[in-house]
Every structure is written in structure tokens, then in C-alpha cells.
Amino acid sequence: MTDTLPPERRSWNMGRIRSQHTKPELIIRSLLHRTGFRFRISNRTLPGSPDIVLPKYKTVIFVHGCFWHRHENCAKARMPNSNQDYWQQKFARNMARDAAAVKDLESQGWRVLVLWECDILRDPLAALERLIKDMEEDQEPQQYAVGLERSQILQLAEKKSRYLNPKSPSRVA
């Protein structure tokens, strides 16, 4: 099947895809902050520019989109029908770059955690719980109270998304 959009419109659409401040990233950042963790975002000095850096825990977090980073067995990681040679090369480069960044970070002594978009959007609190468990595997577990439901978390992320990207079109109901 060929692309139904003219090249100018497709280029415009692709240009609007964000690499920072995505909804899954905002959800994780908000939940981490609410549970008492303090972090830095998008540290360009580290290999791969991790989305979230927790220096106290010597941990970096990548929040990967399922499509761009090829989440295995995920429905969102489907191959586009048009221009498949380009997309296969693009995805192979993305995956190689991700693997190299993880290897470099681990060689520098960082713990690298990867969270996937679909897992975060499906159950943000479970993703947070897994993240905290992975971060504190060497330490005594602590109790963190978030006190939010899934719908509240998603509404909060949507609100922050509009604040951080005021030029993005608002959703039409």
C-alpha cells in the first residue's frame, strides 16, 4: 500500500514527532518526582542522551517509543508498508545506536533501565513499581506513596504535554 499523504504533508507530520517531553516520559517523571526521587532530564553529556538521570542511584532511564526503538512483540512496532528498505535501515541504525549507548553507559558504571511506551501507558503505576524495584535492588526497599489513579496520571501528563509544547494542536473531541 502506498502512502496516502502527499510528501509535504508526510514531512510536516513527521516533523511534529517529539523526541523529548513525550507523554510516557512525562508520566514517569511526574511519578518519580511524586515518590521523592530527584533527577535530571536529557543529559547530553552522557552516551545516548538518557531521558532521565538519577545521579544519586547512578542510574539512567531511557523511555523508548515502541515504534522507533522496535519493542519486540508489540503491536505499535509494526513495519510501515511504504518505503520498507528505508525503514529497515532506519530501525537497524536506531537499535544499534541504542545498544552502543547502553554498552558505553554500563562501562562507565551506570545502571541502565529501559521503559517502553506501551507498558507505561497500559499501567503507569506498575511501570513505576518495576522501575523502583530495579533501581533499589542493591538497597533496602522503601515505601513510596503516589496516591493517584491511572486516569489522573494520564490527565496530568496530557496537561504537562500541552504546557511544554504550546504549538501542538489541541485535541478535538
pLDDT reported for residue 101: 95
State how far the Cα of 90 lies from the Cα of 92, in Å rounded to an integer.
Answer: 5
Fold of 7-159: Endonuclease; Chain A (3.40.960)
**Is 10's pLDDT higher than 80?**
no
pLDDT band at 172 (very low <50, low <70, confident <90, very high): very low
Cell of 2: 502506498
State how far the Cα of 141 lies from the Cα of 84, in Å rounded to an integer.
Answer: 46
Instruction: Give the H or E element holding residue 139.
Output: none
Cβ density class 67-106: b for 16+ within 10 Å, e for less: bbbbbeeeeebeeeeeeeeeeeeebeebeeebeebbeebe
Nearest one of 76, 75, 58 to 67, comparing CA atoms: 76
Cβ-contact 127, 115 below 8 angstroms: yes
| pLDDT tens digits for range 106-150 | 999 999 999 998 888 888 888 888 888 887 765 554 555 556 666
More confident residue, 161 or 118: 118
With 0.75 as the threshold, say if the pTM is over it: no
**Is 19's pLDDT higher than 50?**
yes
| pLDDT tens digits for range 58-115 | 999 999 888 878 888 888 878 888 788 988 998 899 999 999 999 999 999 999 999 9
- How many Cβ atoms are within 10 Å of 155's Cβ, its own excluded? 12
pLDDT reported for residue 110: 94
User: What are the boundaries of each domain within the chain?
Assistant: 7-159
